[in-house]
Amino acid sequence: MKKIVGIAILFLLPFICSTGSSHAADKRTNKLYELYNSTPTPANQKPRLKHFIDRRERIEKIRDAKRAGKPTSKAIEATSIDAPAVDSTFKLGKVYAYPYPAVGVKHPVIHIEAGLADKVEIKVYDNTGKLVEEALLTDPPKIIRGVYAYEYKFASENTPSGACSFTVRAFKSGFDPIETSGKMIFINMGFQR
Protein backbone atom coordinates (compact mmCIF):
# COMPACT_ATOMS: atom_id res chain seq x y z
CA MET A 1 0.00 0.00 0.00
CA LYS A 2 2.85 2.39 0.88
CA LYS A 3 4.48 1.79 -2.50
CA ILE A 4 1.23 2.57 -4.29
CA VAL A 5 0.78 5.81 -2.33
CA GLY A 6 4.43 6.75 -2.99
CA ILE A 7 4.06 6.11 -6.73
CA ALA A 8 0.79 8.05 -6.78
CA ILE A 9 2.50 11.00 -5.08
CA LEU A 10 5.31 11.01 -7.64
CA PHE A 11 2.83 11.01 -10.52
CA LEU A 12 0.49 13.59 -8.97
CA LEU A 13 3.10 16.14 -7.81
CA PRO A 14 3.72 17.66 -11.27
CA PHE A 15 -0.02 18.19 -11.76
CA ILE A 16 -0.58 19.47 -8.25
CA CYS A 17 2.39 21.86 -8.39
CA SER A 18 1.83 23.21 -11.88
CA THR A 19 0.99 26.91 -12.19
CA GLY A 20 -2.50 28.16 -12.87
CA SER A 21 -5.22 30.42 -11.52
CA SER A 22 -5.37 31.29 -7.84
CA HIS A 23 -8.43 29.08 -7.20
CA ALA A 24 -6.77 26.10 -8.85
CA ALA A 25 -3.55 26.83 -6.94
CA ASP A 26 -5.48 26.83 -3.65
CA LYS A 27 -6.95 23.44 -4.55
CA ARG A 28 -3.48 22.10 -5.35
CA THR A 29 -2.05 23.43 -2.09
CA ASN A 30 -4.94 21.89 -0.16
CA LYS A 31 -4.34 18.58 -1.93
CA LEU A 32 -0.66 18.72 -0.92
CA TYR A 33 -1.67 19.32 2.71
CA GLU A 34 -4.05 16.34 2.51
CA LEU A 35 -1.28 14.12 1.17
CA TYR A 36 1.17 15.41 3.78
CA ASN A 37 -1.21 14.80 6.68
CA SER A 38 -2.64 11.49 5.51
CA THR A 39 -1.63 8.41 7.44
CA PRO A 40 -0.72 6.16 4.47
CA THR A 41 1.81 8.66 3.09
CA PRO A 42 5.28 7.09 3.57
CA ALA A 43 7.61 8.96 5.91
CA ASN A 44 10.30 9.21 3.23
CA GLN A 45 7.88 11.17 0.96
CA LYS A 46 6.86 13.73 3.59
CA PRO A 47 9.98 15.96 3.26
CA ARG A 48 9.43 16.16 -0.48
CA LEU A 49 5.78 17.10 0.01
CA LYS A 50 6.77 19.73 2.57
CA HIS A 51 9.23 21.20 0.03
CA PHE A 52 6.46 21.50 -2.57
CA ILE A 53 4.04 23.01 -0.03
CA ASP A 54 6.62 25.66 0.95
CA ARG A 55 7.40 26.35 -2.70
CA ARG A 56 3.72 26.76 -3.54
CA GLU A 57 3.27 29.22 -0.65
CA ARG A 58 6.28 31.32 -1.78
CA ILE A 59 4.95 31.43 -5.36
CA GLU A 60 1.55 32.56 -4.12
CA LYS A 61 3.10 35.34 -1.99
CA ILE A 62 5.01 36.64 -5.01
CA ARG A 63 1.87 36.50 -7.18
CA ASP A 64 -0.17 38.31 -4.53
CA ALA A 65 2.49 41.05 -4.34
CA LYS A 66 2.37 41.45 -8.13
CA ARG A 67 -1.44 41.60 -8.13
CA ALA A 68 -1.35 44.27 -5.43
CA GLY A 69 0.96 46.34 -7.61
CA LYS A 70 3.94 46.09 -5.28
CA PRO A 71 7.24 46.23 -7.16
CA THR A 72 9.13 42.97 -7.29
CA SER A 73 12.44 42.20 -8.90
CA LYS A 74 13.92 38.97 -10.21
CA ALA A 75 16.44 39.02 -7.35
CA ILE A 76 13.62 39.16 -4.80
CA GLU A 77 11.67 36.47 -6.63
CA ALA A 78 14.72 34.20 -6.78
CA THR A 79 15.19 34.27 -3.01
CA SER A 80 12.89 32.73 -0.49
CA ILE A 81 10.50 35.24 1.08
CA ASP A 82 10.87 33.68 4.51
CA ALA A 83 14.60 33.02 4.20
CA PRO A 84 16.62 33.58 7.36
CA ALA A 85 19.03 36.52 7.38
CA VAL A 86 22.56 35.75 6.19
CA ASP A 87 25.21 36.14 8.90
CA SER A 88 27.46 39.04 7.89
CA THR A 89 29.85 38.70 10.84
CA PHE A 90 33.49 39.18 9.85
CA LYS A 91 34.88 35.78 10.78
CA LEU A 92 36.72 32.94 9.11
CA GLY A 93 34.57 30.20 7.65
CA LYS A 94 35.45 27.54 5.09
CA VAL A 95 38.36 28.20 2.74
CA TYR A 96 39.12 25.68 -0.01
CA ALA A 97 39.98 25.24 -3.66
CA TYR A 98 37.83 23.20 -6.01
CA PRO A 99 37.83 20.96 -7.86
CA TYR A 100 40.35 19.07 -5.80
CA PRO A 101 42.48 17.83 -7.48
CA ALA A 102 42.17 20.23 -10.42
CA VAL A 103 42.82 17.93 -13.38
CA GLY A 104 41.94 19.22 -16.82
CA VAL A 105 40.33 22.35 -15.38
CA LYS A 106 41.37 25.65 -16.89
CA HIS A 107 40.40 27.83 -13.91
CA PRO A 108 40.13 26.22 -10.47
CA VAL A 109 38.21 28.29 -7.93
CA ILE A 110 39.34 29.42 -4.50
CA HIS A 111 36.32 29.72 -2.17
CA ILE A 112 36.58 31.99 0.90
CA GLU A 113 33.92 32.47 3.57
CA ALA A 114 34.75 35.54 5.67
CA GLY A 115 31.45 37.37 6.16
CA LEU A 116 31.44 40.93 4.85
CA ALA A 117 35.02 42.12 4.36
CA ASP A 118 36.35 45.37 2.89
CA LYS A 119 38.86 43.47 0.77
CA VAL A 120 40.32 39.99 0.37
CA GLU A 121 43.91 39.40 -0.71
CA ILE A 122 44.84 36.08 -2.34
CA LYS A 123 48.35 34.89 -3.19
CA VAL A 124 49.05 31.64 -5.06
CA TYR A 125 52.45 29.92 -4.91
CA ASP A 126 53.77 27.04 -7.01
CA ASN A 127 55.39 23.94 -5.55
CA THR A 128 58.76 25.71 -5.23
CA GLY A 129 57.27 28.55 -3.19
CA LYS A 130 57.44 31.09 -6.02
CA LEU A 131 54.56 33.58 -6.15
CA VAL A 132 52.70 32.90 -9.40
CA GLU A 133 49.58 34.97 -8.93
CA GLU A 134 48.02 37.45 -6.57
CA ALA A 135 44.64 39.12 -6.52
CA LEU A 136 42.78 41.71 -4.49
CA LEU A 137 39.01 41.22 -4.29
CA THR A 138 37.08 44.38 -3.44
CA ASP A 139 33.67 43.46 -4.84
CA PRO A 140 30.98 42.44 -2.36
CA PRO A 141 30.68 38.70 -1.72
CA LYS A 142 28.00 36.44 -3.18
CA ILE A 143 25.56 34.50 -1.07
CA ILE A 144 26.45 30.85 -1.66
CA ARG A 145 24.56 28.14 0.23
CA GLY A 146 23.36 30.64 2.83
CA VAL A 147 26.69 32.34 3.65
CA TYR A 148 28.65 35.27 2.29
CA ALA A 149 31.51 33.91 0.20
CA TYR A 150 34.15 35.24 -2.14
CA GLU A 151 35.17 33.10 -5.09
CA TYR A 152 38.24 33.71 -7.16
CA LYS A 153 38.91 31.94 -10.48
CA PHE A 154 42.58 31.14 -10.49
CA ALA A 155 44.18 31.87 -13.90
CA SER A 156 46.26 28.71 -14.11
CA GLU A 157 47.83 28.78 -17.56
CA ASN A 158 51.39 29.58 -16.36
CA THR A 159 51.41 27.41 -13.25
CA PRO A 160 53.38 24.17 -13.44
CA SER A 161 51.67 20.92 -12.45
CA GLY A 162 51.93 19.81 -8.86
CA ALA A 163 50.92 20.99 -5.44
CA CYS A 164 50.17 24.70 -5.18
CA SER A 165 49.53 26.63 -2.01
CA PHE A 166 47.58 29.80 -1.46
CA THR A 167 47.26 32.35 1.31
CA VAL A 168 44.18 34.40 2.02
CA ARG A 169 44.00 37.61 4.04
CA ALA A 170 40.65 39.32 4.61
CA PHE A 171 40.50 42.89 5.88
CA LYS A 172 37.75 44.92 7.53
CA SER A 173 38.20 48.29 9.16
CA GLY A 174 38.11 48.08 12.95
CA PHE A 175 38.99 44.36 12.98
CA ASP A 176 42.20 42.37 12.94
CA PRO A 177 42.84 40.77 9.55
CA ILE A 178 41.82 37.16 9.02
CA GLU A 179 44.64 35.01 7.65
CA THR A 180 44.64 31.42 6.49
CA SER A 181 46.24 29.21 3.88
CA GLY A 182 45.39 26.16 1.86
CA LYS A 183 46.66 23.73 -0.74
CA MET A 184 45.48 22.48 -4.07
CA ILE A 185 46.77 19.92 -6.49
CA PHE A 186 46.85 21.21 -10.02
CA ILE A 187 47.56 19.27 -13.22
CA ASN A 188 48.26 21.75 -16.04
CA MET A 189 47.09 20.28 -19.34
CA GLY A 190 48.80 22.99 -21.46
CA PHE A 191 45.82 25.30 -22.02
CA GLN A 192 46.16 28.15 -24.49
CA ARG A 193 45.20 31.66 -23.45
**This model's pTM is above 0.75:** no
**pLDDT for residue 107:** 82
Tell me the three-class secondary structure of 40-71, residue by residue.
Answer: CCCHHHHHHHHHHHHHHHHHHHHHHHHHCCCC
- Rounded CA-CA distance 104/93 in Å is 28
Using one digit for the tens of pLDDT, what is the confidence trace for 130-168?
998 899 999 989 988 888 999 998 876 667 778 889 999
Using one digit for the tens of pLDDT, what is the confidence trace for 47-85?
776 666 777 777 777 777 777 776 555 544 444 444 457
Confidence band for 20, pLDDT divided at 50, 70 and 90: very low
What end-to-end distance do the CA atoms of the chain give, in Å?
A: 60
Q: Do 172 and 116 contact (CB within 8 A), yes or no?
A: yes
